[in-house]
């Protein structure tokens, strides 16, 4: 008599068990309800407009006598003679952020966007380090807006999106030389231009119409307000020149609430 092979029987049982298990698994997967991915909750890092489109609530004018008004969806600054630089400043201050803004400036007018800027109620002396690494004392007059400025430059030099230190150290990241040729050529005269400005820690970077421009490493000021500048004018012929800003959008990149 031929004896049954116990190993073959065990193999058949094992195969049958695997088949049953696999079938059950497939069945379970087939009838498992699909859970739709939920849209993420609104984040505090989403961009918010700094201009409500109706009035200048949340802004305060400092410095000179240039005027600011609302025309359509834009804030319009107009130059006047015999006055100092004028700034329309946010009431809130910001540290780490991304700022995007569209602007259109009349030829001949100098302007800029202040970031991480401040003003003191009384005269104050601060210590600053220049581009050569040398430290020195700098006196800041009372009520003088000072801080980083992203330049708007209609001159032949065309350093728009370069970084100037208003009322403190002067130019920190000018856009001269061959490496900045693309940034200089990106500015469009008498048309709308777009800036992206990113501040994170000691890094400040700018783009003009999508072209990389300034890339500054500096730790003097970590927080301050944002301001729209109308520069003083050297002669009366430039009176009435306008600078327009719109779509002023800020994204908080800090770990806190992003404003004070």
- Write down the pLDDT at residue 130: 78
- Write down the pLDDT at residue 34: 39
Domain boundaries, the chain: 48-252
- Write down the pLDDT at residue 134: 86
What residues of the chain score a pLDDT lower than 50?
1-43
List beta partners, residue 137.
Answer: 127
- Write down the pLDDT at residue 33: 40
Query: Starting from the edge strand earliest in sequence, which strands make up the sheet with 59-63, in order?
Result: 59-63, 86-90, 225-230, 111-118, 146-152, 163-166, 170-173
Q: Is the dihedral of CA 209, 214, 217, 222 positive or negative?
A: negative
Distance CA 79, CA 236 (A): 10
- At the second CATH level, the architecture of 48-252 is Sandwich (2.60)
Provide CB contacts within 8 A for 193, sequence distance 6+.
Answer: 102, 103, 104, 160, 186, 187, 208, 209
Characterize 6-41 residue by residue with b for buried, 16 or more Cβ atoms within 10 angstroms of its Cβ, and e for exposed.
eeeeeeeeeeeeeeeeeeeeeeeeeeeeeeeeeeee
- Write down the pLDDT at residue 32: 39
Of 213, 212, 208, nearest to 188 by C-alpha is 208
- Write down the pLDDT at residue 44: 52
- Write down the pLDDT at residue 129: 86
Of 4, 57, 199, nearest to 115 by C-alpha is 199
Distance CA 35, CA 32 (A): 9
């Amino acid at each position: 008599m031929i004896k049954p092979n116990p190993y073959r029987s065990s193999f058949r049982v094992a195969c049958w068990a695997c088949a049953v298990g696999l079938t059950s698994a497939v069945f379970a997967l087939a009838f498992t309800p699909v859970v739709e991915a939920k849209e993420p909750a609104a984040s505090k890092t989403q961009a918010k407009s700094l201009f409500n489109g109706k009035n200048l609530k949340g802004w305060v004018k400092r410095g000179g006598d240039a005027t600011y008004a609302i025309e359509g969806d834009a804030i319009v600054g107009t130059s006047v003679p015999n006055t100092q630089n004028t700034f329309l400043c946010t009431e809130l201050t910001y540290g780490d952020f991304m700022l995007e803004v569209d602007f259109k400036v009349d030829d001949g007018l100098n302007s800029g966007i202040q970031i991480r800027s401040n003003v003191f109620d009384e005269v104050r002396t601060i210590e600053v380090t220049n581009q050569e690494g040398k430290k020195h004392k700098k006196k800041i007059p009372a009520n003088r807006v000072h801080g980083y400025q992203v330049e708007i430059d209609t001159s032949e030099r065309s350093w728009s999106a370069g970084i100037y230190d208003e009322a403190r150290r002067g130019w920190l990241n000018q856009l001269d030389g061959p490496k900045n040729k693309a940034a200089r050529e990106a500015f469009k005269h008498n048309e709308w231009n777009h800036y992206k400005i990113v501040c994170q820690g000691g890094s400040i970077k700018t783009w003009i119409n999508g072209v990389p421009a300034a890339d500054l490493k500096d730790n003097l000021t970590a927080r301050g307000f944002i301001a729209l500048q109308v520069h003083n004018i050297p002669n009366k012929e430039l009176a009435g020149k306008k600078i327009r800003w719109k779509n002023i959008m800020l994204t908080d990149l800090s770990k806190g609430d992003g404003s004070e």
